[in-house]
Amino acid sequence: MIVQPMTVSTITKKVVNKEPFFILDVRNEDAFADWKIEGENIQYLNIPYFDLLDGVEEILGRLPVDQDIVVVCAKEGSSIMVAEMIAEEGRAVHYLQGGMKAWSEHLEPVKIGDLRNGGELYQFVRIGKGCLSYMIISDGEAVILDATRMTDVFLDFADKLNVKITHSIDTHLHADHISGGRKIAEATGGTYWLPPKDAGEVTFAYEALEEGRDIRVGNTKIEIQPLYSPGHTIGSTSFIVDDTYLLSGDILFIESIGRPDLAGLAEDWVGDLRESLYKRYKELSEELIVLPAHFMIVDELNVDGSVSEKLGTLFAENRGLNIEDETEFREMVTGNLPPQPNAYQQIRETNMGKVTPDEESQREMEIGPNRCAVR
């Protein structure tokens, strides 16, 4: 048997399409417990690589014969060796090309819809990390929102569509992943925007997202003024696009709400979070389609792999929007905070421009699950 690689793009499609397959994860047990490929129809077996050095005979009976088997490790090498041992036993097997490192960095573009003036809106799904970025296109121009550090994906996509990136925006100062917004602006000669209340310690020039300022891309206006929405951070800003889409940043997700503690100020910011969600958002049209900056679990993906829902549906079904008592809301938020994202303080400092870690260090800083939401 010849061992065949399976790409992260193929795995992504299997997850979105809910295709059954089997993962043999050969990372250490704590790494597997902390973060793994998730999907409705995935079966798992976690056996650390070092437990398989003497052979795979003892686990062959635990491997299915009627579905794809994919061996997964951190960076690929160990999974290739284990897959080869399984293949030598006459079993069909694949390994995840690039390992969990590649899974963490993969971005899958999904078209959300057409804008009324002929423009388009795309969502970039970072399925292994839960990050969601956006590209809004109109009349040959594009704006990027909440870009990840894998900037070539956005630049290449813009080139493919023959559009010029004129603006890149971060809805807030991110703490769970390294932003690519400033790098994109430098590469394209565009403008980088950041909420000034999140930018008190940044070391670089930026354009301030302030009330009363509108960003235009081609023929499309992105409204800023009515949607200052603090709570996840003190500067968090939301956007309405084409009177149709609400880009909520990390304030509101499909099944949860944003956590207010990543700068160590949960008690101070939980009131802002409630104000943004229960008053500012409540005044908006329930027909707006919410596009968040993260998703929590793969169950939030739609059938096309996108992440979105109408605001009215979220007010009806999202528990975080349905706690009338303010004291109960405060207790729910501050009492259900997940562990801090890996290396979140170093990530914040990187996004402030205070430190400039090399690419491998940035990759290691981001390894692990998304933890931007209240549980």
Residues designated catalytic: 73
Query: Rounded to an integer, what distance in angstroms lies between the CA atom of residue 154 and that of residue 366?
Result: 19
Strand partners, 4: 94
What whole-number distance in Å separates Cα of residue 53 and Cα of residue 48? 10
Any residues with CB less than 8 A from the CB of 8 and at least 6 apart, and which? 96, 97, 98, 102, 103, 106, 128
What is the residue-wise DSSP string for 283-341? GS-TTPEEEESB-SSGGG--TTS---EEHHHHHHH-GGG----HHHHHHHHHHSPPPPP
For residue 137, list its beta bridge partners. Answer: 120, 142
CA–chain centroid gap for 62, Å, is 33
Give the rounded distance of the alpha carbon of 373 from its chain centre. Answer: 12
Among 265, 279, 278, 205, CA closest to 235: 265
The dihedral formed by the CA atoms of 372, 183, 143 and 210, expressed in degrees to the nearest 10: 70
State both tokens at 338.
Answer: 């997940």
Residue 141: CB partners within 8 Å, gap ≥ 6? 163, 164, 165, 166, 217, 218
Task: Single out the residue of 80, 85, 132, 91 nearest to residue 110, CA to CA.
Answer: 132
